[in-house]
């Protein structure tokens, strides 16, 4: 689960101040620091990503045995990945519904409902009996809870990343763009650490019976804390007024699609390389190691945790690089590097423990550098009144196109036809990013 912001790309001009903006220069709320907004963004994103990765790791280590025991391990994992994709399919619908709720009842009500649904769905999975107790009904309920998680994530868009972008100093937009992205490695690190501890210290039967459920209990608790932290920000008069002055309000999705449909697609494909890589170094490798390697699951999770630290460093570095050379150039350059990396993926994944570890660590570095600037690199193309809804839907489409089916496709094709198809998937994402950035540049010139 990640979000987009409306930070202007290289060469774009900041939103001009209106008379209302000028009038507020002396007001207290005009002095809200970007760093203060960044805290809310990081808290929100980290909680969402923790939920996201808890489910992703469980799809490999738990769900094939608990919900699909009637299938071989490979087929059970593929079925689990099918259910995994339901949240990404649901997310755009959640955004559409939540925008309607916000227009009628307000931002606080929308966010409260979204986080309540997310927490309830997560807790529902934690308490859900397996196939041995409920039969096919357990799979149906798992699918319903997963779909509900996607609806909730679509509704959790609070506009803070866009507000952060518009209030960031013009020469430091790359730096502030990456702050919210730090939630991804943070959420992954904590989720992996929790699973590694439980997997290493519990007998297999206990882990599958009840141990894995603790990760979802923790996710529920984190959701509650994140809800109050974010409400504390968005419910204040200062933030509400600033969001209104920046025109960060929901608009009709139908109107947005008709007026800004091309920008939606360009924005989604501009980040495709990052989103394709996202699951191919987190969820997919864990499934491949589990099925086809003798490497310890606990040790591999530790390697991925180290990779998450590298990813965080890459995200921070991306802010420095983007402020020097521009966000579009950074994204394009990293897409080209991901394309090169894709050519070595099969050799590394099939290269034993050393090759697999290199694939993970190098992949996480590239992910950090690219994903750090993937949020809203071209959403400044949206007219101001469409940016709030446009940023949310752009993120939804990017996740759906680039990441929703990545573990399913990569594992299915690799298991049946060879690891070369991992290269094809990554390469297609890199090509999509380069094509979208090129088209966006051409449109801006016109």
In tens digits, what is the pLDDT along the chain, a chain of 446 residues?
Answer: 444 333 333 333 344 444 344 433 434 444 556 666 777 777 778 888 898 899 999 999 999 999 999 999 999 999 999 999 999 999 999 999 998 898 888 888 888 888 888 888 988 999 999 999 999 999 999 999 999 999 998 888 766 666 666 666 777 777 877 887 888 899 999 999 999 999 999 999 999 999 999 999 998 888 777 777 777 776 667 777 776 766 677 888 888 888 888 888 888 888 888 988 998 999 999 999 999 988 899 999 999 999 999 999 999 999 899 888 888 888 899 999 999 999 999 999 988 899 999 999 999 999 999 988 887 666 667 787 888 888 888 888 988 998 899 999 999 999 999 999 999 999 999 999 999 888 877 555 43
DSSP H helical segments within 202-234, as ranges?
204-206, 213-234
pTM as predicted: 0.86
The vertex-372 CA angle with 366 and 376, nearest 5°, equals 130
Q: What is the DSSP string of 352-390?
A: HHHHHHHHHHHHHHHHHHHHTT-TTSSGGGS-GGGHHHH
Give the tokens for residue 108.
């606080």
Q: In the chain, what are the domains?
A: 34-443 (1.20.1250.20)
Closest by CA to 191, choosing from 122, 277, 276, 89, is 122
Q: In this structure, which long-range contacts are made by residues 192-196, counting pairs with CB atoms below 8 Å and at least 24 apart in sequence?
A: 192/53, 192/57, 192/301, 192/302, 192/304, 192/305, 192/308, 193/301, 193/305, 194/54, 194/218, 195/54, 195/57, 195/58, 195/61, 195/301, 196/298, 196/301, 196/302, 196/305
Phi, psi (5° rounding) for residue 239?
Answer: -70, -40
Residues 6+ apart with CB under 8 A from 105: none
The vertex-433 CA angle with 427 and 436, nearest 5°, equals 135
Query: By the 8 A CB rule, do 133 and 66 touch?
Result: no
């Amino acid at each position: 689960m990640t979000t987009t912001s409306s930070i202007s790309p290289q060469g774009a001009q900041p939103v001009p101040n209106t008379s209302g903006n000028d009038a507020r220069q002396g007001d207290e709320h005009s002095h809200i620091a970007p760093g203060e907004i960044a805290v809310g963004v990081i808290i929100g994103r980290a909680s969402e990503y923790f939920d996201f990765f808890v489910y992703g790791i469980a799809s490999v280590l738990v769900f094939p045995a608990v919900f699909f025991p009637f299938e071989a391990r490979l087929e059970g994992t593929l079925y689990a990945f099918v259910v995994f994709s339901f949240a990404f399919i649901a997310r755009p619908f959640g955004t559409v519904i939540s925008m309607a709720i916000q227009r009628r009842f307000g931002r606080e009500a929308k966010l409260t409902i979204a986080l309540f649904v997310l927490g309830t769905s997560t807790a529902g999975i934690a308490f859900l009996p397996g196939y041995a107790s409920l039969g096919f009904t357990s799979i149906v309920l798992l699918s319903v809870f997963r779909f509900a998680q996607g609806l909730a994530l679509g509704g959790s868009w609070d506009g803070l990343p866009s507000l952060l972008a518009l209030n960031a100093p013009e020469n430091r937009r790359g730096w502030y763009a990456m702050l919210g992205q730090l939630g991804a490695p943070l959420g992954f690190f904590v989720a992996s650490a929790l699973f590694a501890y439980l997997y290493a210290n519990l007998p297999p039967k206990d882990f599958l019976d009840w141990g894995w459920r603790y990760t979802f209990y923790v996710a529920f608790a984190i959701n509650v804390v994140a809800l109050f932290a974010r409400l504390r920000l968005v419910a204040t008069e200062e933030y509400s007024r600033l969001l209104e002055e920046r025109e960060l309000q929901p608009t009709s999705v139908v109107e947005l699609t008709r007026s800004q449909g091309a920008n939606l697609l360009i924005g989604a494909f501009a980040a495709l390389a990052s989103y394709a890589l996202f699951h191919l170094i987190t969820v997919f490798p864990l499934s491949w190691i589990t099925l086809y390697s003798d490497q310890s699951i606990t040790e591999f999770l530790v390697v991925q945790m180290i990779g998450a630290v590298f990813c965080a460093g890459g995200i921070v570095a991306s802010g420095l690089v983007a402020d020097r050379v521009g966000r579009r150039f950074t994204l394009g350059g990293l897409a080209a590097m991901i394309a090169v990396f894709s050519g070595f993926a099969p050799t590394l994944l099939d290269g034993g423990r050393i090759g697999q570890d290199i694939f993970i660590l190098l992949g996480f570095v590239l992910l950090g550098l690219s994903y750090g600037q993937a949020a809203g690199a071209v959403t400044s193309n949206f007219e101001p009144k469409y940016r709030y809804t446009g940023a949310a839907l752009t993120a939804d489409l990017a996740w759906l196109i680039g990441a929703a089916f990545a573990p399913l496709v990569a594992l299915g094709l690799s298991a049946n036809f060879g690891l070369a198809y991992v290269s094809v998937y990554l390469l297609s994402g890199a090509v999509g990013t380069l094509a979208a950035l090129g088209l966006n540049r051409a449109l801006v010139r016109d």
